[in-house]
Amino acid sequence: MLVQTSQGQSGSAHVVVLGNEKGGSGKSTTALHIAVALLKAGQRVATVDLDCRQQSFTRYINNRSAWARRTGLDLELPVHCCIKLGNTERTFDFIIIDTPGSDSYLMRLAHSMADTLVTPINDSFLDFDVLGTVDPATYAVIGESHYAEMVRDTRRKRRQLDGASTDWIVVRNRLSMIGSRNKQLVADGLNELSFRLGFRSIDGFAERVVYREFFPRGLTALDDLDEATLGTRPSLGHVTAREEVTSLLRQLKLPLDERGRRRAANRAEWFTQVDKPLELHDILGA
């Protein structure tokens, strides 16, 4: 049975969905980093891989488990499942769902049960195109694209179903470390779109080779950055990656601590009382 839509009440897991109809944007990489961060914060975490064809998220977690066995390290592991779910919603604090980069029934279903939707995008107009289109001369936003429309639709359905809202965060991934005109134009475009679509746009991870090296060992930038864990000497890249993962987690504003839980409860309460368009709440900094 699939997980039922979270009621946003205590005792019900907070559902974080990683979604973007485009492959290669960093969904699986970000998914494991969020899961490990939450495990390290003492949360009970379940992870779900809906990308049944690629299964990169599943393999990333299997690699972590194999690396822990091989090295004898105590690496935190989530309870992981590939598609089939039991009574997961009441047993865990968080459920992290990684979705495939293509439209499907399961992918839409996951989006419609998201309390938090994280959409990583590469810093290029080719990736921006799943959210919106820009004028080729001025780069002003002139339209909304298919993935954005799908999210709007699933958020509306979610709201009709149980009155809950989805906090949608678009995370710029693989950011170039040097400034460029393209980088600024993408930032401006996302800022403009965020008001139209009702998402928060934040800076995520820089383009770093360490993120690619983590996969075979199932590691994240939050694991111990020593030679025994990494299997190689730690570098400045590891330390900086950890800072940006920590910063991402802070900006996601997940209901981790008492304050976060209160904020989530207040938001749920507010939504039951005020019939306000869904698109505004995050921009106003709920």
Ligand X SMILES: Nc1ncnc2c1ncn2[C@@H]1O[C@H](COP(=O)(O)OP(=O)(O)O)[C@@H](O)[C@H]1O
CA–CA gap between residue 146 and residue 152 (Å, rounded): 10
Report the DSSP beta bridge partners of residue 48.
81, 97
Tell me whether residue 88 or residue 122 sits nearer to ligand X (CB atom). 122
Phi-psi category of residue 138: left, alpha or beta, with phi > 0 → left and psi -120 to 50 → alpha: alpha
Q: Is 279 helix (H, G, I), strand (E, B) or coil?
A: helix
* Token pair recorded at residue 209: 């080779």
Tell me whether residue 25 or residue 165 sits nearer to ligand X (CB atom). 25
CA–CA gap between residue 150 and residue 144 (Å, rounded): 10
Which residue matches tokens 């800076």? 203
* Token pair recorded at residue 95: 């459920």
Tell me whether residue 146 or residue 212 sits nearer to ligand X (CB atom). 212
Q: Is 79 helix (H, G, I), strand (E, B) or coil?
A: strand
Give the contacts of 178 (CB within 8 A, at least 6 positions apart): none
Q: Quick one: what does residue 205 bind among Mg ion, ligand X, none, with the CB cut-off 5 to 8 Å set by partner type?
A: ligand X
What minimum distance in Å lies between the beta carbon of 60 and ligand X?
8
Pairing of the two strands 167-173 and 94-98:
unpaired
What minimum distance in Å lies between the beta carbon of 98 and Mg ion?
6
What minimum distance in Å lies between the beta carbon of 199 and Mg ion?
20
For Mg ion, the binding residue among 30, 47, 56, 119 (CB under 5 A) is: 56
Q: Is 203 helix (H, G, I), strand (E, B) or coil?
A: strand
What minimum distance in Å lies between the beta carbon of 58 and ligand X?
12
The piece of 53-61, 135-143, 154-162, 247-255 that touches Mg ion (CB under 5 A) is 53-61
Tell me whether residue 211 or residue 271 sits nearer to ligand X (CB atom). 211
Tell me whether residue 21 or residue 282 sits nearer to ligand X (CB atom). 21
Q: Quick one: what does residue 231 bind among Mg ion, ligand X, none, with the CB cut-off 5 to 8 Å set by partner type?
A: none
* Token pair recorded at residue 67: 């690396």
For Mg ion, the binding residue among 27, 172, 217, 267 (CB under 5 A) is: 27
Binding site residues, ligand X, CB under 6 A: 23-29, 56, 101, 173-174, 205, 207-208, 211-212, 215
Tell me whether residue 57 or residue 67 sits nearer to Mg ion (CB atom). 57
Give the contacts of 79 (CB within 8 A, at least 6 positions apart): 45, 46, 47, 92
CA–CA gap between residue 203 and residue 201 (Å, rounded): 7
Q: Decide: is 28 part of the binding site for Mg ion (CB under 5 A).
A: yes
Q: Is 250 helix (H, G, I), strand (E, B) or coil?
A: helix
What minimum distance in Å lies between the beta carbon of 51 and Mg ion?
5
Pairing of the two strands 141-144 and 45-49:
unpaired
Q: Quick one: what does residue 173 bind among Mg ion, ligand X, none, with the CB cut-off 5 to 8 Å set by partner type?
A: ligand X
Tell me whether residue 23 or residue 231 sits nearer to Mg ion (CB atom). 23
What minimum distance in Å lies between the beta carbon of 141 and ligand X?
23
Binding residues among 102-131 for Mg ion as defined by CB under 5 A: none
Binding residues for Mg ion (CB under 5 A): 27-28, 56
